[in-house]
């Protein structure tokens, strides 16, 4: 195949390195960057580049990369100027997610080159939203989330969940590969749809991606898709080239913690001493920075090194979500309150079990989760200074409920929940210490 061909291969790395993949690079004498043809301007050389300076190892992409002008075009673009700056920004954003994606690829025995696909899909932005409505790192459309573990509702859009969307995207790519038998075609199907690729193969009798694009049989975007990815892998795979981030050195590992109550991500970050922007990025699926009710089965994603600390915070702290206590006024409706506080009406139902839009009573007190910091007070806001002055403490025992404890201390379940900065439907566990009024207060 000659000097112009790039083949994928397995290499062995030390255990400390992450498992990625590489295109073997064949360079002309005296240059660091591979060139494919003598009649085209060479891509700017890497300084001190050699074959050993490759961090990606392990499983290879099936087949080979031909000497194709589209790959050269994107090598030129991403190795200098605006293209290089764009690639640097993408890889900087990728750092928190690299070890997780690499581990899932290894677990599924898939080509680690796919690690870089979000560069092409979303520029490694969890909040990416295309004009066609595709969302997240892996750009899922709403009509493609089944049968994957992706929830889209008033609380969250799991297409923006780096954990769930990665698992779903790789499952989808694996399925495409099982159908087509070729990773190039599997990637093409991820871009333009499996049915489109299958129809094109059936009508043309051609099952080679490169021949299909040379004949103009695939959409323009799909024709650029794999050459673009190939260039990104080639450039990003070379240690220190063009000052690109050394992503394989990232040690950011994540774990998930089951929640038995709703929490504000910002408060968790503050109490645990974690960079708030990192934790918010890790929970990019949340629409309100507040986790769904315990009944949803939502899991908090945290860096492993903070796991035990956050677990302790969740067990011991009660002020992980701020509420306003609102007394229903004449003419109030739940939809109007939801609009005022910029939350879905379902959130009011979730935190006020038994409330009915048809049977609201003047003076009825609701707990409203405060998920925005710029909401002006409303006429019905109840002064919480009374509960803030409670000096009593009560240790929860087996069988306790907010209703039972509130009766014991001559208060209401709503006030008890407010005094402990928890939702009315919070699960209280034996050993928890609650703020309560002294019986002589």
Record: fold of 6-249: Lysozyme (1.10.530)
Contact at 8 Å (CB) between 239 and 55? yes
Q: Is the pLDDT of residue 13 over 80?
A: no
Peptide bond into 80 cis (omega under 30): no
Q: Is the pLDDT of residue 129 over 60?
A: yes
Contact at 8 Å (CB) between 436 and 405? yes
Rounded to whole angstroms, the Cα distance separating 133 from 120 reads 16
Q: In terms of Cα–Cα distance, which of 62, 77, 73 is closest to 213? A: 73
Rounded to whole angstroms, the Cα distance separating 60 from 3 reads 19
Examine the residue annotation and report whether 121 is marked as an active-site residue of this protein. yes
pLDDT score, position 113: 87
Grade residue 62 by pLDDT with cuts at 50, 70 and 90.
very low
Across the strands, what pairs with 433?
395
Q: Is the pLDDT of residue 54 over 90?
A: no
CATH architecture of 322-379: Roll (3.10)
Task: Let me know if the fold of 6-249 is the same as that of 383-441.
Answer: no
pLDDT one-digit tens code per residue, 226-260? 999 999 988 887 766 677 776 656 788 999 999 98
Across the strands, what pairs with 7?
64
Q: Is the pLDDT of residue 418 over 80?
A: no
Contact at 8 Å (CB) between 90 and 116? no
Q: Is the pLDDT of residue 44 over 50?
A: no
pLDDT score, position 367: 85
Rounded to whole angstroms, the Cα distance separating 40 from 325 reads 70
Q: How far is CA 232 from CA 6, 80, 188, 226, 434, in A?
A: 14, 12, 16, 10, 55
pLDDT one-digit tens code per residue, 217-233? 999 999 999 999 999 98
- Which residue intervals of 264-401 are DSSP H helices? 265-272, 276-282, 307-316, 334-341, 345-351, 385-388
Contact at 8 Å (CB) between 436 and 419? yes
Contact at 8 Å (CB) between 148 and 45? no
**Average pLDDT over every residue of 324-329:** 83
Q: Helix, strand or coil for residue 25? A: coil
Domain borders along the chain are 6-249, 254-316, 322-379, 383-441
Which member of 73, 95, 121, 415 is catalytic?
121
**Average pLDDT over every residue of 320-348:** 86
Q: In terms of Cα–Cα distance, which of 111, 53, 49, 43 is closest to 79? A: 43
Q: Is the pLDDT of residue 7 over 50?
A: no
Grade residue 105 by pLDDT with cuts at 50, 70 and 90.
very high
CATH numeric code, 383-441: 3.10.350.10
Q: Is the pLDDT of residue 441 over 50?
A: no
């Amino acid at each position: 195949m000659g000097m112009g061909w790039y083949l994928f291969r397995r290499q062995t790395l030390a255990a400390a390195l992450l498992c990625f993949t590489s295109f073997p690079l064949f360079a002309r004498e005296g240059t660091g960057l591979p060139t494919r043809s003598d009649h085209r301007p060479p891509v700017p050389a890497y300084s001190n580049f050699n074959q050993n300076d490759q961090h990606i190892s392990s499983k290879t992409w099936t087949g080979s990369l031909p000497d194709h002008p589209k790959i050269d075009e994107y090598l030129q673009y991403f190795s200098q100027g605006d293209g290089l700056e764009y690639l640097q920004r993408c890889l900087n954003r990728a750092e928190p997610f690299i070890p997780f994606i690499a581990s899932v690829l290894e677990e599924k025995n898939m080509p680690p080159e796919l690690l870089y696909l979000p560069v092409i899909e979303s520029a490694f932005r969890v909040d990416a939203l295309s004009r066609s409505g595709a969302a997240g790192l892996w750009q899922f459309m709403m009509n493609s989330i089944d049968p994957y573990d992706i929830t889209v509702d008033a609380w969250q859009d799991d297409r923006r969940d780096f954990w769930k969307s990665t698992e779903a995207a790789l499952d989808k790519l694996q399925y495409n590969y099982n159908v087509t038998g070729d990773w190039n075609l599997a990637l093409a199907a991820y871009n333009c749809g499996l049915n489109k690729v299958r129809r094109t193969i059936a009508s043309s009798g051609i099952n080679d991606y490169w021949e299909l694009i040379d004949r103009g049989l695939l959409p323009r975007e799909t024709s650029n898709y794999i050459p673009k990815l190939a260039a990104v892998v080639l450039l990003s795979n070379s240690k220190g080239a063009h000052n690109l981030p050394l992503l394989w050195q990232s040690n950011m590992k994540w774990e998930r913690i089951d929640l038995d109550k709703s929490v504000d991500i910002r408060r968790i970050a503050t109490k645990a001493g974690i960079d708030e922007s990192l934790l918010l990025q890790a929970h990019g699926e949340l629409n309100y920075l507040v986790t769904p009710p315990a009944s949803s089965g939502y899991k908090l994603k945290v860096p492993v090194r903070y796991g035990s600390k956050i677990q302790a915070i969740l067990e011991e702290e009660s002020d992980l979500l701020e509420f306003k206590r609102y007394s229903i006024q004449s003419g109030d409706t739940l939809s109007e309150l939801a609009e005022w506080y910029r939350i879905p009406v379902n959130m009011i139902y979730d935190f006020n079990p038994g409330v009915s839009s048809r049977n609201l009573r003047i003076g009825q007190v609701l707990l409203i989760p405060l998920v925005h910091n710029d909401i002006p007070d409303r006429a019905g806001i109840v002064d919480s200074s009374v509960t803030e002055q409670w000096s009593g403490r009560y240790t929860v025992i087996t069988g306790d409920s907010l209703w039972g404890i509130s009766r014991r201390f001559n208060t209401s379940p709503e006030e008890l929940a407010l005094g402990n900065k928890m939702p009315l439907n919070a699960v209280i566990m034996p050993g928890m210490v609650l703020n309560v009024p002294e019986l002589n207060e």
